[in-house]
Amino acid sequence: MLEEKNDNLLEADGNLENHSIETPLVEENAEIVSETIAEVEKETVLTPEVSVEDTIEMAKPIEEESTEVAEAKASETETIIDAIAENNAEESEDETLKERHDIPMLDYDALSLESLVDELKKLVTNEKVMSVKDHVEEIKKSFLAKYNHLLEEKKEEFLAENPDTTEEFAYHSPLKSHFDQYYSLFRDNKNAHFKSLQTNLKTNLENRLAIVEELKELINPQENIKDTLKHFNDLRERWKNAGSIPKDKYNHVWNNYHFHVENFYDYLHLDREARDLDFKHNLEQKQKIVARVEELVNEADVNKAFRELQDLHKIWKEDIGPVSREFRDEIWNKFSDLTKQMHDKREVLFEKMRGTELENLEKKKEIIAKIEVLATEKVNAHSQWLQQIEKVEALRTAFFSAGKVPAELNEETWATFKTAVRNFNSFKNSFYKDIKKDQNNNLNRKTALVAKAKELQESTDFATTTPIMKQIQEEWKQIGHVPRKYSDKIWIEFKDACNHYFDKLKEQKNEENSEEIEAFDKKKAYLETLREFQLTGVHKTDLDAIKLHIETWKGFGKVPFTRRHIEGKFNKVLDALFEKLSLSKKDSEMMRFSNRMDQLSESNDTRKLEGEKIFLMRKIDEIKNEIFQLENNIQFFTNTRNAKKENSIVLEVRKNIEKHKEEMEILKDKLRQVRSLNQS
């Protein structure tokens, strides 16, 4: 076909080359046209509805294949070429669709929710809207599937924790908000793009149809040939710059345009030399395309090669005119055969990919089977369930990372996976429902302790209340977990009540400690003066003085527990004074004992007083037994022949009996004194 061309065809070595054909249909070459235009063979030129096979002259060989195999092969090749033509028509409508080939389609099923949102943001903000259309829809599909699955899990957990609630389940995620934000931006951009595109497509279609109508009118024997040629070249230039049209109109409009161009070409009856020159150039261009396709058949990146093949088909169809009839079938058949080879190679790649997808399917089935096993393994401890949950999470991650499965099995695999995870969650939740009952019981027990602690927190009877508060705290420790939503609240209430009481106890002790420290200082100073005390030698006077010192010492009060050693020092000084005073053993011991018991009574040390009482009772029983044994021994000696004469052994035994009786009387006096202190 005689057109000016700037084809940017790929050379056989893969490099781009600009080809510019000098057409004979220009005014400067008009001399080659005969001055007299032959009669027009056809007065009226029809505009038939022409298919791709009709207008691409090489699409249909002159001679039909005679065998069924050949017919099937030709049909398959035509189907492949039709598919390429359809795709080119779509890209011709919107040039941005070409750019999507350069943006890799990731395995979005393997990405996390966070990564999907990040990927969506990157595509929507950095790429043209139609070049990422398929990518965004795949992201949307993966995101919603995973997010809906997450919602189901959260709802099951909510219902498990609140079986009797009337509250409506609600779950909000910042990730979903971010996803909605970026997807809305994509949708707005797409709508704006389509609105602009539709307006342009409509205008461009009207312009191209007008060009076709003008081509029809060029066949006019009354018009000057020079003017006709100039008009024809103008129409071709306008056609080249007319822009995109709707893909459903693409083939029909293009076929009509080329039909009328060829009619005009035939109408002119150009000389054979000029026509053959154009045929030769077109043949060279198509031979270069064939050579490039031969290289593409051996290209390692099959998808990239096939995309270039689509572009070459578009150039063959739109930019290069016809060749002479003798080469027409040959060059087209070669191009068609290479196209089929490329398609077959691509199908092999798809089969290999399908094999990988089937392997991924088996991996996912194994993962699902493991989750199903975990959904039947009964464990009875929270720590064990945490391990089970961790295993399922690892299997979930492995599932999403396993890669794509065959498209026709994707929904089924996903549904099976969701069912397995849902069954595990139901199994897990049934365990926690039982725990929930125990936690509610624990909540009731702890609530009762809180009430008790609040009731006692203002008490000033510290001696009675402190042991009770400590017992409450021990009980609290023994009670297990409560429902999580009540845990913090009830603990704060209990802690505040206990802290309030023990803070008051601490304040009271601080006040007491100041008094005790003051008593210690007084006793320390008094002890120094007592060391210098000298007896007068008058027994009664000295005894009264010692008793006065004891009363004065008691009057100072209690000392801090950590400084009670000063009481021992005071007792040592008293012992020395009693020895000098030459009191009877009983009087001396009773005064010392009385002083020591008074000290225990003042310190409110009931434990030591009780211990002293038990010690005295045991000691009295021991002495009683000793006396009984000694008296039995004497009786043995008095029944013998020498009973009238008591020997030294008998006399010694009688002395021991008297000694034990005296000691027992002292112990009984001490016991009476201790009992009187306990009663007071």
Neighbours of 555 (CB within 10 A): 10
pLDDT digits (tens, 9 = 90+) for 628-655: 888 787 777 666 545 455 677 777 888 8
Q: What's 16's DSSP letter?
A: E
Radius of gyration for the chain, computed over Cα atoms and rounded to the nearest angstrom = 57
Report yes or no: 156 and 422 within 8 Å, Cβ to Cβ.
yes
pLDDT classification of 498: cutoffs 50, 70, 90: very high
pLDDT recorded at residue 492: 92
pLDDT digits (tens, 9 = 90+) for 299-325: 888 788 888 888 888 888 777 777 887
Neighbours of 180 (CB within 10 A): 11
Q: Can you tell me the distance from the alpha carbon of 320 to that of 337, in angstroms, rounded to the nearest whole number? A: 19
Q: What's 20's DSSP letter?
A: B
pLDDT digits (tens, 9 = 90+) for 225-238: 677 778 878 887 88
SS3 content of the chain, % helix, strand, coil (to 5): 75, 0, 20
pLDDT recorded at residue 343: 84
**Burial of 571 (C-beta count, 10 Å sphere; 0-12/13-18/19+):** middle
Report yes or no: 458 and 497 within 8 Å, Cβ to Cβ.
no
Q: Can you tell me the distance from the alpha carbon of 9 to that of 5, in angstroms, rounded to the nearest whole number? A: 10
Q: Can you tell me the distance from the alpha carbon of 440 to that of 428, in angstroms, rounded to the nearest whole number? A: 19
Alpha-helical (H) ranges within 112-224 are: 113-126, 133-161, 174-217
Tokens 């066949």, residue located:
219
Which H helix or E strand runs over 10? strand 9-10
Q: Can you tell me the distance from the alpha carbon of 519 to that of 527, in angstroms, rounded to the nearest whole number? A: 12
Q: What's 8's DSSP letter?
A: -
CA distances from 422 to 68, 394, 413, 513 (A): 55, 16, 14, 65
CA angle 140, 146, 148 (to 5 degrees): 95
Q: Return the structure tokens found at 74.
A: 């030709």
- List, in sequence order, every residue forming a beta bridge with 9; answer none if it has no partner: 17
**Burial of 546 (C-beta count, 10 Å sphere; 0-12/13-18/19+):** buried
At residue 148, the 3 state secondary structure works out as helix
Cα 195 from chain centre:
40
Q: How many alpha carbons fall within 13 Å on the CB side of residue 274?
A: 19
Strands (E), 174-252: none
User: Which residues, including other chains, have CB under 8 Å from residue 447's CB and lie 6 or more apart?
Assistant: 490
Q: Report the share of the chain in percent with pLDDT over 90.
A: 2
Q: Can you tell me the distance from the alpha carbon of 179 to that of 144, in angstroms, rounded to the nearest whole number? A: 10
Find the range with the poorest average confidence among 387-396, 418-427, 627-636: 627-636
pLDDT classification of 555: cutoffs 50, 70, 90: confident
User: Which residues, including other chains, have CB under 8 Å from residue 233's CB and lie 6 or more apart?
Assistant: 4, 23, 25, 26
pLDDT recorded at residue 101: 56
Neighbours of 342 (CB within 10 A): 23
DSSP 605-628: -HHHHHHHHHHHHHHHHHHHHHHH
Phi, psi angles (nearest 5°) of residue 473: -65, -40
pLDDT classification of 487: cutoffs 50, 70, 90: confident
Q: Can you tell me the distance from the alpha carbon of 453 to that of 436, in angstroms, rounded to the nearest whole number? A: 25
pLDDT digits (tens, 9 = 90+) for 355-383: 888 888 888 899 999 998 888 888 888 78
Find the range with the poorest average confidence among 27-36, 240-249, 428-437: 27-36
Phi, psi angles (nearest 5°) of residue 62: -65, -45
Q: How many alpha carbons fall within 13 Å on the CB side of residue 509?
A: 11
Q: Return the structure tokens found at 496.
A: 């505040």
Q: Can you tell me the distance from the alpha carbon of 297 to that of 345, in angstroms, rounded to the nearest whole number? A: 8
CA-wise closest residue to 263 among 42, 459, 423, 93 = 42
Average pLDDT of the chain, as a whole number: 75
Q: How long a stretch of residues is the chain?
A: 680
Q: Judge whether residue 10 has pLDDT over 60.
A: no
Q: Can you tell me the distance from the alpha carbon of 366 to that of 395, in angstroms, rounded to the nearest whole number? A: 10
DSSP 58-100: GGS-SSPP-SHHHHHHHHHHHHHHHHHHHHHHHHHH-THHHHG
- List, in sequence order, every residue forming a beta bridge with 16; answer none if it has no partner: 10
Q: Return the structure tokens found at 520.
A: 């210690």
Report yes or no: 96 and 129 within 8 Å, Cβ to Cβ.
yes
CA-wise closest residue to 119 among 130, 102, 104 = 104
pLDDT recorded at residue 154: 78
Q: Return the structure tokens found at 218.
A: 């060029």
Report yes or no: 256 and 52 within 8 Å, Cβ to Cβ.
no
